[in-house]
Amino acid sequence: MAVRIAVAGGKGGTGKTTLAVGLARAFLSTGEKVSLLDLDVEEPNSHLFLSDLREVNRRQVISSLPAVITEHCVACGRCKEFCHFNAIVVFDKATVLEEFCHRCGGCVLVCPERAIVEKEVVIGEVIKAVGRGLELVSGWLEVGQANPGPVIREVKAEQVAGDWVVLDCPPGSGCAFVESVEGADLLLGVVEDTPFGAHDFRKVVQVARNAGMRIFAVINRYGMGNGDGVKVCEEEEIEILAKVPFSEAAHRALAQGGDPYSVSPDLKGILDWIRDALLERLER
Amino acid sequence: MRPKEIVVVSGKGGTGKTLITALLASASETKVICDCDVEAANLHLLLKPEEVSSQRVRLGMVARVDTGACKGCGRCWKTCRFSAIEERNSRAYVIPELCEGCGVCALVCPRPAIEMVEEETGDVLFGQSEWGEILYAELLPGRGSSGRLVSELKGRARKRAMALGCSWLLVDGPPGLGCPVISAVSGADVVVLVVEASLSGISDAQRLLPLLRRFDVDILGVANKCGISEDLDRQLEGWLEEESIPLVVKIPFSPDIARLYGNAIPPKDLVDISALANRIQ
Ligand code: SF4
Ligand code: SF4
């Protein structure tokens, strides 16, 4: 069985993508088969650091959106009454407000006139790219679509070959994050050593704990904060696998899309260290 | 008069939205400040409000199964679009984290064995800071209604700003471009687009822009963490120019700023955003 590692942080910009891509490379360098899933479908970025991959497949994510057949609608208001998301307004006819609709299909079921049907709409894309033994599957939410959930699910449903599956998760601690980590074997937190990083990571930990996941942490930009990130891990009894010091040189290289595994020997060493620690903890 | 609504967004996380919001707060006389990043609220950690009052809000619903009444016919789990109901021990079992609260299962259940109950969404908090009144919210971890919490929070902040006769309602937006961002931006007069001068920062802002364009708002550009590479700076500026978005403030990349900020000290003396404040005025 493949091991699924969810890389998450809560706060945005803590280095999730850097660690996810870097760790995937580190596993790859020991001859392991690795797949990387970019689940931050609102703003996917993993591909920016893997510019040498070649796209092999691209498919659309389709969802159904209710549409009112106006000739059949008698404006009885049942659909509006049912909809829990206030996504239907009824004047002389019913109208669906696309931005609010969660595509539950309820209005179609309740309409006594069968005046609501579902039409298909594209809500995103799943793109697969391969190269240097690595497989990357990224999800792209169509801009203007509100709900990333179905696109995240589609990325996760993609058949992947890796024995190690690294999940680059979205920021936050809401539904997109929950969808992303669901089914993961362990959560690797990328935590900024600041009050912000600590506060946001705590929420992530709660979700992961509820799901019964093992949790490890990496402190990023160590030395730039007040120590709260380390403190929160100690309080939550989460093992810190590495403390990555802030390096201006690495920062500059990564900002320009450098591959985390090759921008600096120090960073490479840390990524190898984290990989080995995970192998050991998982008794692989 | 209706206060001017200013929303700070960037697409990517960690680009300096919260920092810019805080500095803008210090640049205006009368305002209410509102942190719409309800999944990872950070502004209050920087502004350190006092006498914070908190209120639990219930904005969503969740399905609850009466296992005694359930016969395990399976209509609910076959109909649920969100894979939020499973069969466990021949009975329906709701996975609350995945349930969107749509009520379709309760609708199709012939018994009926499913009831829709209100779900706690999170807390709305309100406090006084040296920089102004701040409203923020903490989504309960894992809850699905962050967009609704954002709308609720913003509604309250708007009322408060009106009541106080403020000239500004300052909003720190969430990352991404989904539901919470749409809720945060809707109703805005001015959007401050913070673009980090990195490949991901630029690329994320570029993806966000078409969404912002759907709203009737003025967009002002702020470039943050500049000077890492001339190439990136040029790319960033070129793009904003192409899109006719004025670049109002450029903030250099500086470990000193990051260090102060990392200790929750607003780096007031290191970053000058007066041009942005003036422009909004
Ligand atoms: S599909 Fe569901 S959410 Fe959408 S309009 Fe119909 S009842 Fe409302
Ligand atoms: S309320 Fe909707 S989302 Fe929740 S379990 Fe029922 S059908 Fe599924």
Domain B4-48+130-280 has CATH 3.30.70.100: no
Token reading at A42: 């609102």
Q: What are phi and psi of A261, to 5 degrees?
A: -80, -15
Question: What pLDDT, on the 0 to 100 scale, is given for residue B140?
Answer: 94
Tell me the average pLDDT across A176-190. Answer: 95
A189 touching B, CB under 8 A? no
- Say how far apart CA A41 and CA A47 lie, in whole Å: 12
Candidates B37, B102, B143; nearest CB to A104: B102
Taking CA atoms only, the protein residue closest to ligand 2 atom 6 is: B105
According to DSSP, the residues that pair with A40 across neighbouring strands are none
According to DSSP, the residues that pair with B191 across neighbouring strands are B7, B219
CATH, domain range A62-121: 3.30.70.20
The answer to whether the CB atoms of A177 and B39 lie below 8 A apart is yes
- Say how far apart CA A236 and CA A216 lie, in whole Å: 11
The answer for residues whose C-beta is within 8 angstroms of residue B269's C-beta and 6 or more apart is: none
A149 touching B, CB under 8 A? yes
CATH, domain range B60-120: 3.30.70.20
Question: What pLDDT, on the 0 to 100 scale, is given for residue A100?
Answer: 82
- Residue with the two structure tokens 């640049």: B27
Question: What pLDDT, on the 0 to 100 scale, is given for residue A98?
Answer: 85
Question: What pLDDT, on the 0 to 100 scale, is given for residue A141?
Answer: 97
Cβ contacts of B196 on chain A, cutoff 8 Å: 13
Query: What part of B 194-253 touches A (C-beta under 8 Å)?
Result: 196-201, 203-204, 207-208, 210-211, 214, 225, 228-229, 231-232, 253
Round the average pLDDT of chain A to a whole number and report it. Answer: 95
Question: What pLDDT, on the 0 to 100 scale, is given for residue A146?
Answer: 87
Question: What pLDDT, on the 0 to 100 scale, is given for residue B30?
Answer: 78
- Say how far apart CA A77 and CA A68 lie, in whole Å: 12
Full strand arrangement of the beta sheet holding A134-141 = A54-68, A116-131, A134-141, A34-38, A164-168, A3-8, A186-192, A214-222, A239-245
Q: Within its chain, how far is the Cα of B38 from the centroid?
A: 6
CA B233 to ligand 1 center in whole angstroms: 44
Helices A195-210 and A228-235: crossing angle in degrees, nearest 10, is: 30
Cβ contacts of B147 on chain A, cutoff 8 Å: 146
B193 touching A, CB under 8 A? no
Tell me the average pLDDT across A4-14. Answer: 96
pLDDT band of A119, cuts 50, 70, 90: very high
Question: What pLDDT, on the 0 to 100 scale, is given for residue B79?
Answer: 96
pLDDT band of A58, cuts 50, 70, 90: very high
Minimum-distance ligand to the CA of A111?
1
Whether pLDDT at A75 is above 80: yes
Distances (CA, A) of B123 to A199, A200, B48, B54: 15, 15, 17, 6
Whether pLDDT at A273 is above 90: yes
- Say how far apart CA B167 and CA B157 lie, in whole Å: 13
- Sequence spans of domains, chain B: 4-48+130-280, 60-120
Structural class in CATH, domain A3-52+132-282: alpha beta
What one-letter code names the amino acid at B119?
E
CATH 3.30.70.20 in chain A, residue ranges = 62-121
Candidates A175, A187, A224, partner chain B, best to mutate (most B CBs within 10 A)? A175
Burial class from Cβ neighbours inside 10 Å (0-12, 13-18, 19+) for residue A112 reads: exposed
Cβ contacts of A251 on chain B, cutoff 8 Å: 228, 253
Shared fold status for B4-48+130-280 and B60-120? no
Q: Whole-prediction pTM value?
A: 0.93
Q: Which residues of chain B have pLDDT under 70?
A: none
Whether pLDDT at A284 is above 80: no
- Say how far apart CA A38 and CA A124 lie, in whole Å: 13
Question: What pLDDT, on the 0 to 100 scale, is given for residue B115?
Answer: 96
Whether pLDDT at A283 is above 80: yes
Tell me the average pLDDT across A194-214. Answer: 95
